[in-house]
Amino acid sequence: MKILLTILDGLGDRPVKEFGGLTPLEKAKTPNLNKLAKNGITGLMDTIGRGIRPGSDTAHLSILGFPPEKYYTGRGLFEVLGIGMNPRKGDVCFRANLATVDKSGKIIDRRAGRIGDTSPYAKKLNGITINGIKFLVQPGTAHRMGIIARGKGLCGDVADNDPHIVGKKVLAVKPAKNTRQAKFTAKVMNKFLAKAKEIVSKNPENVRRKKSGKLPANYVLMRGAAFVPKLESFEKKFGLRAGCIAGGGLYKGVARFLGMDLINVRGATGTPATNVRAKFKEAKKALKKYDFIFLHVKGTDTLGEDGNCRGKMKFIEKDDLAIGELKGIKNTVIAVTGDHSTPCSLKAHSGDPLPVLINGPGIRVDAVKEFGERACASGGLQRINGGDLVPELINLAGKAVLYGD
Ligand code: ZN
């Protein structure tokens, strides 16, 4: 028996007036999801805990069986892993943006006019060494970069230099704790940022940008400092060989943190334009090789954050069609859920629980006939916690280890 866990990011929602009080999922035509729910077991899931508004990073750790209170050190780690960098235990990782500031250090644009490619800048920053600490810098998507600080005496207890507000002055990095390591890390960071400012301002790319009326990239904003603990292994913890199919960097990063193989799919972009069908096709194929496939779809969350309830509903219909690719799949426990709700009315994550369905051979089928927030509330799984999901799936796949004798 194999396991396929599909996470539709930000799936859950609240009643939408123009849908007559239905949610985008309830309004969408989802014959394939309904069929899976009808022949499976359903319920609601709080990914971290009741009423907790999860970030996508912490929610995924929890759902994949690694409690964030134990394993989460910050977003920066998943960011650098997601763009293919190789952090080591003891490093500190950051998410970074190229930004535009004026002479006094006030932020004009946090994304340097939505600069599309940071590689000419990252190349010149990569390898700088300050007080024995080496900085590794790689381009991410659009205006983003990943930064790793490597060397002795570092820690992740430092604040961002990013005030997150246009018109405010960039901040000096401050230690977030009164420890020698935090003070040292902040000192090195400030030296790096001063040097980085000098280097990026001088980049010939800025001359070209100015000529075409674009904002220069003359500052580096860093945030989400994360100390690298020991990298974990999903396979070691659960005894399952696992692969991940995802377009978004964060999800690839979480998967790499857990030692999962990344399975690349053409057209998997992590945007609403993604080729979901290709992802499910590939998942079906990959299940021949792997015991567990984690398939992530981002578009639901993006459209929820845009407040685009019609778009979210249509995107769910597109996902449902793609799930049709699983037709004829055998010996597989299929689970579909989300990582948190992203109600269109809030344009943000919320702590509302998510519908969850599990389908597969031998499952105690419940009376629920469709996949929706309210329908699943009366399902046989009742209300579970994110951390319960993988153990439930392993049990249903007949792979659970006997506890006791
Ligand atoms: Zn999410």
Residues 289-348: tens digit of each pLDDT: 999 999 999 999 999 999 999 999 999 999 999 999 999 999 999 999 999 999 999 999
Tell me how far the alpha carbon of residue 8 lies from the centroid of ligand 1, in angstroms: 8
Residue ranges in 232-325 assigned as alpha helix (H)? 234-238, 249-257, 276-286, 299-305, 309-323
Tell me how far the alpha carbon of residue 300 lies from the centroid of ligand 1, in angstroms: 9
Tell me how far the alpha carbon of residue 339 lies from the centroid of ligand 1, in angstroms: 5
Torsion, Cα of 223, 226, 232, 238 (10° steps): -60
Query: What pLDDT, on a 0 to 100 scale, did the predictor assign at position 268?
Result: 87
Residues of the chain within CATH 3.40.720.10 domain(s) are 2-67+232-396
Q: For 117, phi and psi rounded to 5 degrees?
A: -140, 120
Query: What pLDDT, on a 0 to 100 scale, did the predictor assign at position 230?
Result: 85
Residue of 265, 330, 335, 344 whose CA lies nearest to 294:
335
Burial (CB < 10 A; 0-12, 13-18, 19+), residue 275, is middle
Tell me how far the alpha carbon of residue 302 lies from the centroid of ligand 1, in angstroms: 9
Domain 2-67+232-396 is classified in which CATH homologous superfamily?
Answer: Alkaline Phosphatase, subunit A (3.40.720.10)
Give the containing element (helix H, strand E) for 195.
helix 180-201
Tell me how far the alpha carbon of residue 290 lies from the centroid of ligand 1, in angstroms: 24
Which residues are registered as beta bridge partners of 175? Answer: 158
pLDDT at residue 153 is higher than 90: yes
Residue 384: which pLDDT band, with cuts at 50, 70 and 90?
very high
Tell me how far the alpha carbon of residue 106 lies from the centroid of ligand 1, in angstroms: 31
Angle, helices 309-323 vs 276-286, to 10°: value is 30
Tell me how far the alpha carbon of residue 305 lies from the centroid of ligand 1, in angstroms: 10
Q: How many CA atoms lie within 13 A of 4 on its CB side?
A: 26
Tell me how far the alpha carbon of residue 239 lies from the centroid of ligand 1, in angstroms: 26
Tell me how far the alpha carbon of residue 356 lies from the centroid of ligand 1, in angstroms: 15
Query: What pLDDT, on a 0 to 100 scale, did the predictor assign at position 232?
Result: 86
Tell me how far the alpha carbon of residue 335 lies from the centroid of ligand 1, in angstroms: 17
Query: If you average pLDDT over every residue of the chain, what do you get?
Result: 96
Which residue, chain included where needed, has tokens 């578009």? 299
Tell me how far the alpha carbon of residue 346 lies from the centroid of ligand 1, in angstroms: 14
Using only C-alpha atoms, the chain has a radius of gyration, in whole angstroms, of 22
pLDDT at residue 114 is higher than 90: no
The answer to whether 24 touches 16, Cβ cutoff 8 Å, is yes
Q: What is the mean pLDDT of residues 248-274?
A: 93
Tell me how far the alpha carbon of residue 56 lies from the centroid of ligand 1, in angstroms: 4
The answer to whether 307 touches 344, Cβ cutoff 8 Å, is yes
Residue 270: which pLDDT band, with cuts at 50, 70 and 90?
confident
Tell me how far the alpha carbon of residue 134 lies from the centroid of ligand 1, in angstroms: 32
Which residue, chain included where needed, has tokens 């040292």? 184
Four-residue CA torsion sign, 340, 342, 346, 348: positive
Q: Which tokens in the block code for residue 40? A: 């499976």
What CA–CA distance (Å, rounded) separates 338 from 354? 6
Tell me how far the alpha carbon of residue 340 lies from the centroid of ligand 1, in angstroms: 6
Q: Which stretch of 28-32, 208-212, 357-361, 392-396 has the lowest confidence by average pLDDT?
A: 208-212
- Separation in Å, CA 77 to CA 88, 222, 328, 346, 360: 10, 13, 39, 28, 35
pTM of the model: 0.92
For 117-148, the pLDDT digits (tens) are 999 999 999 999 999 999 999 999 889 999 99
Q: How many CA atoms lie within 13 A of 312 on its CB side?
A: 32
- Percentage of the residues of the chain whose pLDDT score is greater than 70: 100
Q: Which tokens in the block code for residue 391? A: 């153990």
Helix and strand totals (H; E) in the chain: 14, 14
Which residue type does 302 have?
T
Residue of 198, 200, 190 whose CA lies nearest to 222:
190
Tell me how far the alpha carbon of residue 150 lies from the centroid of ligand 1, in angstroms: 29
The answer to whether 241 touches 290, Cβ cutoff 8 Å, is yes
Tell me how far the alpha carbon of residue 294 lies from the centroid of ligand 1, in angstroms: 14
Q: Which tokens in the block code for residue 28? A: 């969408």
For 186-240, the pLDDT digits (tens) are 999 999 999 999 999 999 999 999 999 999 999 999 999 999 988 889 999 999 9
* Residue 266, number of CB atoms within 10 A of its CB: 8
- Separation in Å, CA 304 to CA 113, 308, 345: 25, 6, 8
Give the DSSP letter of residue 11.
Answer: B
What CA–CA distance (Å, rounded) separates 58 from 80? 16
- Buried b / exposed e over 212-228, threshold 16 CB at 10 Å, is eebbbbbbbbbbbbbbb
Q: For 61, phi and psi rounded to 5 degrees?
A: -60, -45
Tell me how far the alpha carbon of residue 198 lies from the centroid of ligand 1, in angstroms: 36
What CA–CA distance (Å, rounded) separates 341 from 353? 7
Residue of 63, 9, 90 whose CA lies nearest to 304:
9
